[in-house]
Amino acid sequence: MKNSQILVCFSRVLFPFILVFGFYVIINGHLTPGGGFQGGAILATAILITYFIIPERISILTGLVRLEKLLFIAIIIVGSLSLITKGTFFTNPIPMDWGINYKRIFLVLLNFLIGSKVSLGLVAMFSSFIEEGRS
Amino acid sequence: MELIPVLIIMIPIFASMIVYLTDTKYSNNVVFVAQGTLSILAVKYFIEFEGLKEKHLLNLGNWNEVVSIVLRNDKISMLFIFLTILIWWMILIYIWDTKKRDSKFIFLLIFLEGVFLGLLQTNDLFTMFVFIEITTILSSILILYKMDGESVRAGLYYLLFNSVGMMFYLLGMAFIYYSEGTLNIDILTAKINIYQGLNLTNLSYISIMAAVGVKSAFFPVYNWLPKAHSAAPSSISALLSGLLVKSGLYVFIRINSMYGLETFREFFIILGIFTAISGAIFAVSQKDLKQILAFSTISQIGIIMIGLNQLEGETLGGIMHIINHGIFKTLLFLSGGAVVSLYKKRDVTKIRGLLKNYPLLSIFMIVGILSITGMPLFNGYVSKSIIKYGVYSKTLEYLMYFIDILTLTYFIKLSQIFFGEKNINLKNHKLGIYKKIPLYLLSLACIIFGNFYIPIYSLFTEASIKYINLFNISEWLLFGLKAAAAYFLYRIIVKKDYNFIKFLRRTNISFSSTNFLFILFITIMIIWKL
Amino acid sequence: MNPILSFIIMLIGIYGIVTSENIIKSIICFSIIETALILLFLNLGNGNHGDIPIILEGVKNMVDPLPQALMITTIVIGASTTALALMISIKIFHYYGTLEWDELLEREG
């Protein structure tokens, strides 16, 4: 089944813009609407567009799945960092009287981890369908 | 000590993850340790809070109560938690040393236990939605675990239909959030005022009740249940029939006590009668062992609905029948599964000679059959008598006697597997010790709950149930009369296998017609309200 | 305007599921109903006539942020249910060779 040439050509042009926009939504999650989950879905769309551009591409599925499990453990570790400094789970580990520029680090880090985990999860799910259909 | 509700949810989930990640042969021991810790924690929690006379709330994260996740425990939820832990013990011992078990099956089973214990403790409409959806997904994977044609078909039907039902739950939740502004059950109980007419709060009640009706198999929308419960492996069938169907009834109890509506009480009693009678008529016409038991579950749910919708304060009969039905239906499904695996066939007219070949197994099955039909000295009699005492009109009481006679009829049809000759071919197959222990314990529970019910239930409720007399001669005579009438009915109508009965056995409703019946159900509820 | 739109989409989905003969069509209509409900939920509060729910200077009339948080979970649940249903339908096609509901339920075993 051949894809249309216009679709392939436009996907080549749009691919870097969607990627940059996805990263913008993830990293600016504490100032504008968006955040981890929404940006992750946009990133997943960007990666899956490459299946239009290069139809014979085989992606590294096992590597993606292993990276996703590592990210899950990283989220739990970052979440339980606050157990050391404040005594409860999943709050900001940085003390209250430091400046706002330090307290932002926790928000940006958590947004980034959740965004990449969501995008890798969605890519793995759709990739397994496409691999099954091809064989 | 304060965090025990969270620990009750998290211990099975962590144990399941450990079993999945480290795939050793010691997974049995890990599961045993986890389940034992869970039971000790539950008993300690119950004793520590003096039987939970007032409810215990646990606010996660100390946010404002309007928007936070709150876990709540009171007497009804503790009763369900104990029933859950008991039935999961029985299932785990039953599959202790089968050859086909692997770590994925244990992982799904124990994870389901954690999620179910979470469903029983929530105080929040949205958390309940999330847990019900996770239960649907996990149990549909467990139904189609054998991966042959019939299981896959049943699993897809179950998954799609329950998910469509839960969409209406979401619709009801949107209406409530728009008109009240919160989703917490305690705050909503104090805040809801039901006016007459058709405004948003009444529409939300109707759509949430439609979703609950799909989940707990009411009259027009129970078609997923016979397919799913007879195509699953036998331990999963026992779990589904004994416990997971009751999750819909638990949500029904909570939502009813939250709204406090009076107009739908008669509607649900009439619905219960239709469910019970139609389930019994379909059960009479079946020949497959597991299909008979699956349709009998539908019939008993009808009786539970009659019991749960009495006047305020007399709903003990329904709750007691939920507990009793969990115990004896698990016993029947586990022993039926053992029979099917020993004889390698499922047709009731072809299996013969159970009493002479395996006497212990047939004794367990006879205890189960006597409990479900309501013989005095077993636990079915106690709950059915409480329901019969609470019914207020004579026609309802006669209808309940008719349902009892139909129940006896299809169980007499099932008990033709006991008679026959001793078969030499089956001498090589024996029943393992790990399959005998749960059957023994469940039969013991049936007898204990039938005789010593007063001290057990006085821990959980304040209603007095001293008026049931176990040794009343008229009750024994009534049971004998019902058995005779059922045997008469069986000889005349059922044994000849008329064309009408063959037609009932083969009816199949497709997916689109089932959804059409679902929309019809909602329309009937709207018309009843006007 | 916006709640009425989501009701129309939901009615289209319900009509599709009541008259569907193919498994894939039922799954697609289920996804349509769920999208319509998520749209309905997000319009509670002020809809799109308010400001961003972040506390800065000059923000007065905030949109309600609670339904947005709940709907993220609902989208994930819907996606996983759809994925599982599609995988099961692949298995059904291997066993039965057909994807119509009527032929599927008529066969015995």
C90 close to A (CB below 8 A): yes
The pLDDT of residue A85 is above 80: no
- Identify the three-state secondary structure at position B276: helix
**Which chain A residue has the Cα nearest residue C73?**
A37
How far does the CA of residue C57 sit from the closest CA of chain B (Å)?
A: 24
pLDDT of residue B194: 73
Q: Which residue has the higher pLDDT, B394 or C49?
A: B394
Cβ of residue C86 closer than 8 Å to a chain A Cβ: yes
- The torsion of the CA quartet B227, B232, B236, B240, rounded to 10 degrees, works out to -10
Q: Would you state the structure tokens that stand for residue B114, as one six-digit string?
A: 């954690």
- Give the model confidence (pLDDT) of B25-35 as tens digits: 788 888 888 89
Give the C-alpha separation, B177 to B183, whole Å. 6
The residue among B88, B132, B39, B4 whose CA lies nearest residue B330 is B88
Which pLDDT score, from 0 to 100, does residue B314 have?
A: 72
- As a whole number of angstroms, the distance between CA B383 and CA B453 comes to 10
Q: According to the model, what pLDDT value does residue B428 have? A: 62
pLDDT of amino acid B485:
83
Q: Is the pLDDT of residue B421 over 80?
A: no
pLDDT at residue number C13 = 92
**Is the pLDDT at B129 greater than 90, yes or no?**
yes
Q: What are phi and psi of B370, to 5 degrees?
A: -70, -30
Structure tokens that stand for B90 in this block: 């029985």
Kindly state the greatest CA–CA separation across chain C. Answer: 68
Q: Domain extents for chain A?
A: 5-134
> Once rounded to an integer, what is the mean pLDDT over residues B505-528?
81
Are B253 and B162 contacting, i.e. CB atoms less than 8 angstroms apart? Answer: no
Confidence of residue B248 (pLDDT cuts 50, 70, 90): very high
The average confidence (pLDDT) of chain B is 85
Query: Would you say the C-alpha torsion A91, A97, A102, A104 has a positive or negative sign?
Result: positive
Among B402, B374, B326, B379, residue whose Cα is nearest residue B88: B326
CB contact under 8 A, A129 and C86: yes
Domain count, chain C: 1
**DSSP string covering C43-94, please?**
TSTTTTSSB-SS--TT--SBPP-HHHHHHHHHHHHHHHHHHHHHHHHHHHHH
Measured distance CA(B191)–CA(B188) in Å, rounded: 5
In this prediction, residue B30 carries a pLDDT of 85
C59 touches chain A (CB under 8 A): no
Per the structure block, which two tokens stand in for A77? Answer: 């570790």
Query: How confident is the model over A41-49, as a mean pLDDT?
Result: 89
State whether residue C24 sits within 8 Å of chain A by CB.
Answer: no
pLDDT at C74: 93
Q: Which of A104-113, B312-321, B412-421, B461-470 shows the lowest per-residue confidence on average (mean pLDDT)?
A: B461-470
Interface residue C96 vs chain B (CB under 8 A):
yes
Give percent of chain B above pLDDT 70: 95
Residue B221 burial (C-beta neighbours within 10 Å; 0-12, 13-18, 19+): buried
Mean pLDDT score, B224-241: 89
Minimum-distance CB partner of B174 among C18, C26, C44:
C44
pLDDT at B350: 82
- Give the A:C interface size as CB pairs under 8 Å: 10
Judge: A33–C52 Cβ closer than 8 Å, yes or no: yes
Instruction: Find, among B106, B97, B94, the residue nearest to B438 by Cα.
Output: B94
Give the neighbours of chain A: at least 3 Cβ pairs within 8 Å.
Answer: C
Residue C103, token pair as written in the block: 């032929």
Amino acid B100: pLDDT:
60
Does the ipTM surpass 0.85? yes
Query: In which domain, by residue range, is C51 found?
Result: 2-106
Burial tier of B357 (Cβ tally within 10 Å: 0-12, 13-18, 19+): buried
- Copy the structure tokens of residue B68: 């936070």
Its pTM stands at 0.91
Q: What confidence score (pLDDT) does residue B114 get?
A: 93
Chain B residues touching residue C10 (CB < 8 angstroms): 171
Asked whether A8 and A53 are in contact (CB, 8 A), the reply is yes
DSSP B25-51: TTHHHHHHHHHHHHHHHHHHHHHHTTT
Confidence of residue B500 (pLDDT cuts 50, 70, 90): confident
DSSP one-letter string for B216-268: TT-STT-THHHHHHHHS-HHHHHHIIIIITHHHHHHHHHHHHHH--STTHHHH
Q: Is the pLDDT of residue B377 over 90?
A: no
Report the residue of chain C nearest A30, measured CA to CA. C54
Q: What's the pLDDT tens digit per position in B193-221? A: 777 666 888 888 989 999 999 998 888 88
CATH of the domain at C56: 1.10.287.3510
B105 sits in which H/E element = helix B103-119
Across the range A46-72, mean pLDDT stands at 77
pLDDT at A56: 67
Four-CA torsion B290, B291, B295, B300, nearest 10 degrees: -10
Closest among B286, B289, B166, B288 to B221, alpha carbons compared: B166
Confidence (pLDDT) at B131: 94
Residue B256 burial (CB count, 10 A): 19
State the Cα–Cα distance between residues B341 and A22, nearest whole angstrom: 55
Helical axes C23-42 vs B149-180, angle rounded to 10°: 20
For the segment B148-195, what is each residue's pLDDT rounded down to a tens digit?
888 898 999 999 999 999 999 999 999 999 888 888 888 888 888 777
The neighbours of chain C, by the rule of 3 or more Cβ pairs under 8 Å, are A, B
Above 60 in pLDDT, residue B470?
Answer: yes
Q: Which residues of C touch A32 (CB under 8 A)?
A: 52
pLDDT in tens, B305-332: 988 888 776 778 888 899 999 998 999 9
Q: Could you say which residues of chain C have pLDDT below 50?
A: none
The pLDDT assigned to B425 comes to 67
> What residue of C is the nearest CA neighbor of A29?
C54
Inform me whether the pLDDT recorded for A59 exceeds 90. no
Alpha-carbon distance of B157 to B228, in angstroms, equals 8
Confidence of residue B140 (pLDDT cuts 50, 70, 90): very high
pLDDT exceeds cutoff 70 at B516: yes
